[in-house]
Structure 1
Amino acid sequence: MTVTLLRADGAREHLSDDVLDELDAALRGTVVLGGTDPGAPEPCPEWNAMYGDPAALTARCTGTADVVEAVRFARERGLLVGVRAGGHSVAGLSSVPDGLLIDLSGMRGVMVDPQRRLARVQGGALLGDVDRETQAFGLATPLGRVSETGVAGLTLGGGYGHLNAKYGLSCDNLVEAQVVCADGSVRTASETDDADLFWAIRGGGGNFGVVTSFTFRLHPVGPIVAFAGVMYPLEDLGTVERSWREYAAAAPDEVTTFVVTMTFPAAPGMPEIIHDRPVAIVAAVHCGPDPDEGMRVLQPLRELGTPLFDLSQPMPYAVVQASFDPFFPRGALRAYWKSQYLDELSDDAIDTLARRAADRPGPITLVNTFRLGGAVHAVDPEATAFAERTSPWMVSFDTMWSDPEQDEAAIAWGRSAWEEMTKYGNGRVFLNFTGRQDEPLQAGTDTAFGRNLRRLGRIKADLDPDNFFQMNNNIIPTPG
C-alpha cells in the first residue's frame, strides 16, 4: 500500500508502507493517513468548514522533538507541508488536503510563573487554555475574543483582543519562543537570541518555522473586570456608531471597545425582544483594578440610544473571553472575511457600514468596527514585523454561512462590501482577517507589512530559502 502526497514543486510523491513506518517510528505521537482512522478524531478540527477535508498524511505531534522529525521527513521528500495549531485560520491555512499536516493541536500545556509574571504556552494551546491558568493568579496576557482561537496563529499574525489599548498586541507581549526551522534546527528566539527571527515572528505569520512554545509577559487583570455589552436596534446603527466613535476616541487606555452587527439567535434564557433580531452590539472591557469604577467609565456606552437589551456588568475575565464563542462554532460555519484599516471613521463611512449591515447575506454574517490605539500605537512600526501602528480604526466583514450552495453569493457579497469600503480605508489590511478563495497566498502582504516586507524577505531567505513553509500569508524569500 502507498499514499500519494503533493510535493511543494507540484509533483506527486508516493510513500510506501516502509517509509510511513519510518515516520511512525520516529514520532512519539501518531501518524494518520487521510480519514482512515475513525478511532482517532482530530484533536482540533479546522474551524472554517470550507476546509474540513483531512490531510493526506498527518503527523500528530506531542512535543518539539516530534515536530523536528516531521519537518525533516517532509524536507527530505520535498512534501507540501501545512501546520495546524489551534486550527482557527479563517483562510484555512492550517489545512493541506494533499500534503503532510504537522499537527500541534494536542500540545496545549500552559505553565505560569506568577512571581516573574510569565506564562510558557505550548504551540497548540487555545486562548481558553491560557486564560484558565493565568486567571488562577489574577493575571492575563492580551489574546483574542474567542476562547477556541489558537494562540499560535493569533500571536504570529499580531493578536487583537480585549486588552489591546492598555497592554498592546499578543505579539507585543511575547518575550521568547522556541521555533523549529525549515532545516530541522531548534532555535530559541528572544530580544537577545536570534533577534531577527524574534522580530519576524511577531507579526510575520508562520513563514519562519513552527513555534512549539511561546513565553508571554503577564499583567494584573481580573479575575473580575468591567464589561459592557449593549444591544441596540440595527436600524439605529448610524446614530449609535457616531456617538460610540466620539466616546471611543476619548476613552482611557483601560478601555478596549468595538461594535459588531449580527442577527441575534433565539437563544435560551435571552429575552424574546432580541430573538432573531438584527442588532448592533456595542462591546467594551475596562481592565482596571476596580470593576465598579470601570462600570462608571463604560456607562456612556449604555446610553448611546434606546437599548433592546443590556448585558453590561462586572464579569469574570475568563467569561468575557468566551462570551462570543457561541457565534463561532468550530466546523459548523463556512467563512470568508476581509478587513481594512481607516485613518478616519467619517459619517459617510459609518453610513456605508450601516447600509451594508442591513443587507447582510445571512444572519450570522458580521459587520464590525474596532477602535485601535493606546499601547498598540505606542510601539514603533518597525520594532516588530507587525507594521500597522497608526490607524485608529479597523472594519471587517465577517461573511459566514452554512449552506455550501451559498458559497458563490456569500463570497461575492464579502468582496463587494470590502471594495465599497476601500474609498474610506487607507489601503492596509489585517492578514488574520483575510479569505483565500482564488487569491494568492501572498495577497495583501505588501500592504500589511509596508516597509517591513523587505526585511522579512531577507530573513525568510536566510531561514527558509526554498519556501518550505509556504502555507501561510506567504513572504517570498528575497536575498540581499
Structure 2
Amino acid sequence: MAFSTAHTALAALREELAGEVFAPWDPGYDGARAVFDARDGRRPAVIARCADAADVVRAVRFGRELDLRVAVRGGGHGAAGTASADGALMVDLSRLRRVGVDPVAGTARVEGGATTGELDRAALPYGLATTGARAPTTGVAGFVLGGGTGWLDRLFGPAADSLLTVELVTADAARVRASADEHPELFRALHGGGGNFGVVTALTLRLHELPRFSLALLRYPPGRGPEVVRAFREVFRTGPDELGGALLYLAGPPAPAGGPRCAAVLTYAGGADGLRDLAGPLRALPHEAAVAGEVPYTEAQRLLDTPSGLRRHGSAECLTGLPQEAVDAFCAGGEGMPAAAGSRHLLFPQGGAVAAGPRGYPLAWRDAPWTAHPCAVWADPAEDERALRWVRDARAALRPWSTGAVCLNLIGDEGPERVRAGLGAGNVLRLEKVKRRYDPDNVFRCNHNIRPV
C-alpha cells in the first residue's frame, strides 16, 4: 500500500511539475544528484528540479504527503548535513537563476539558484556590488542565509546585512515574503539561520556603489610565512575598511620545491596607487612574484575558485587576535598542508563593517578580528584520512586563540555544538521558536539544523 501511494504521488509530481523529476532508476539521476564535493555520495529518494516558485510549492507538498525530509540545493557548495539527505526529497533550484538589478533603487532580486558570479556580472555594469562569496560558483541564497563573508565584508558588512526581503516556501507549502515589516522574526532568523525555515525562491539585496576596485597578489619563498603574517597583520591594523584580503598557504601538485608557498591577497575599493601604498609592509619583504592593478571586482571572485568533481573538506576558527604564538601555529599548519591541487590554509581579516554592523542578527562570529580556514582539496580517495586529519589538526592548533564562534558558511557537519557556536548560544532559543512556527516537524533538517523547541 505504501509503495502504491508513493508511486501514485510520484506520477502526479511528474505530471504537475514544469521542471524535471528524477528517481533513482531514471536516466540522468546520477548527474542530477552530483554536488560540488566528490566525497558526497548522498542518494535522495526523489530530485525535483524546479522551474519556478510554483514548482517549489508542488515539490514541498509532495514531500509532506510522503513524509519525506526536504533537502535544498541552490548553488551546490553547501557541505552541511549532506549524509542526512539520503532518502530525502531534494529540491533543486538550479533552474531558478534570474538576477534583476534596479540601479535606481540600488537593489538586486536574485532567484534561489543563482550564483555569486551571476549576481556580480549583473551588478557590475552599474558600478554596484554587494558582499559576495570568494568563489563565483557559490550559490547566493545559501551564502547570504549563512551570514556571508567575502572580499567586501569589511566595507559593506556580511552579506546578510544587505538582505532586504526573502521569498520562501515554508514547510506547509505556503509562499511567504519576509522583511523588516512582514514576518519580522522570521526575517531576523534568516540572517544566519540558513535554510532551516523554508525553501528560498528569491531574495532582494541592497547594492552598494563600487566604481573602482583594485587587486594585489604577492607570493613569497618557502619558510617566510611568519614574517609575512606579521606584515599582513600590520597592514590591517592600520588599513581602512575599503581594504580586504586573505593570507594563504598554497599547495601542489607536485609539492613545490622547499614546501608550500605563502601568498598575500589584498583587495581595495579604490585605485591601484592607493592599494600599492597600503601594501607597503608586504611589498618590502622579499617575494617571488607580485601583481597589482585596478581590475573588475569579478576578477577577485575567481582567485580561490576550484573545479567541481574533487574531494574537499574545510573547517574554521574565529580568533581573538594574532599574537606571535598564534602566528607560529597558523604557519605550522600551512607548512604541513597536504600537497594536493587546490588545498589552502587561509587567514581572513574581519573588523570594519563586520564588527560595526547590526547587533540583533544571529551572527556570533562578527566580533572576531580574524578567521582561519584550513581547506583540503584532493582527488584520490586514498588520501581521505590524511586530508581530514590535516584540517582537524590545523584547526586544533589554533583553538587556544578561538573566540568559540564560527562562520557556518565555512564548515560542514561538525555537530550541534558547532551550530550553536555559529548562531550564538543566546540566539538559539529564539531561533528554535521561529523554527517551531514555520517548520514544527523539522522537515528542513538536512542542514546546520535548528530544532523546533
The alignment status of 1:285 with 2:274, answered yes or no, reads: no
Residue 23 of structure 1: aligned partner: 13
Task: Indicate the SS of the match to 2:251.
Answer: strand
Q: Deviations over 1:384-410 (max 9, x none)?
A: 122322110111111222111221222
- Match of 2:316, SS state, is strand
Q: 2:162 aligns with which of 173, 183, 200?
A: 173
Q: What's the CA shift string for 1:192-231, capped at 9, x where partnerless?
A: 1110111001111111111110101111114x41111111
8 Å contact from structure 1 (residues 225, 317) kept in 2: yes
Q: Unaligned 5+ residue runs, structure 1?
A: 3-11, 267-272
Q: Counterpart of 1:126 in structure 2: which amino acid?
A: T
Aligned partner of 1:9 in structure 2 is: none
1:413 partner SS: helix
Is the Cα–Cα contact under 8 Å of residues 62 and 107 in structure 1 kept in the other structure?
A: yes
Please report the RMSD computed on the Cα atoms of aligned residues, expressed in angstroms: 2.3
1:467 equivalent to 2:442? Answer: yes
1:221-267 per-position Cα deviation (integer Å, ceiling 9, x unaligned): 14x4111111112410101101110111211010012101112568x
Q: After TM superposition, give the deviation of residue 302 of structure 1 in Å.
A: 4.2
SS in 1 for 2:400: coil
Work out the CA distance in 1 between the residues paired with 2:281 and 2:296. Answer: 20
User: Which consecutive unaligned segments of at least 5 residues does structure 2 have?
Assistant: none
Separation (CA, whole Å) in 2 of partners of 1:129 and 1:343: 35
Q: Does the CA contact (< 8 Å) of 1:90 and 1:335 recur in 2?
A: no
**Residue in structure 2 matched with residue 270 of structure 1 by the alignment:** none
Paired amino acid for 2:433: R
Matched, 1:319 2:319: no
Task: Give the secondary-structure state (helix, strand or coil) at the position aligned to 1:238.
Answer: helix
State the alpha-carbon separation in 1 of the partners of residues 300 and 218 from structure 2.
14
Q: 2:249 aligns with which of 261, 273, 277?
A: 261
Give the superposition deviation at 1:417: 2.0
Q: Cα–Cα, structure 1 residues 145 and 154, in superposed 2: closer, same or farther, change >3 Å?
A: same
SS across alignment from 1:460: helix
- In 1, distance between residues paired with 2:166 and 2:218? 38
Verify: 1:125 aligned to 2:114, yes or no.
Answer: yes
The answer to whether 1:251 aligns with 2:225 is no
Where does residue 56 of structure 1 map in the other structure?
A: 45
Distance in 1 (alpha carbons) for counterparts of 2:338 and 2:199: 37
Tell me what 2:343 maps to. 365
**What is the match of residue 242 of structure 1?**
230
Q: How many residue pairs were aligned?
A: 451
Contact 1:144 1:154 in 2 (8 A): yes
The whole-number CA distance in structure 2 between the counterparts of 1:301 and 1:14 is 70
Shift of 1:293: 4.1
Match for residue 105 of structure 2 among 96, 100, 116? 116
Moved more, 153-162 or 92-101: 92-101
1:32-74 Cα distance to aligned partner (Å, 9 max, x none): 11263239943x9411111155533100001111111111110
Match of 2:312 in 1: 335
Q: What is the match of residue 427 of structure 2? A: 452
TM-score between both structures, scaled by the size of structure 2: 0.94
Measured in 1, the distance between the counterparts of 2:279 and 2:351 equals: 21
2:278 counterpart of 1:298: yes
Tell me if the contact between 2:246 and 2:264 (Cα under 8 Å) persists in the aligned partners: yes
In 2, distance between residues paired with 1:298 and 1:47? 36
Q: Which residue of 2 aligns with 1:228?
A: 216
Cα distance change of structure 1 residues 218 and 274 upon mapping to structure 2, 3 Å threshold: farther
Letter in 2 for 1:305: L
Partner Cα separation in structure 2 for residue 80 and residue 420 of structure 1: 37
Q: Which amino acid aligns with 1:241?
A: V
Does residue 384 (structure 1) correspond to residue 361 (structure 2)? The answer is yes
Aligned residue type for 1:444 = R
For 1:208 and 1:77, locate their aligned partners in 2 and report how far apart those are by CA, in whole Å.
19
Q: CA offsets, 1:103-129, max 9 Å, x none?
A: 001111000100111100000000011
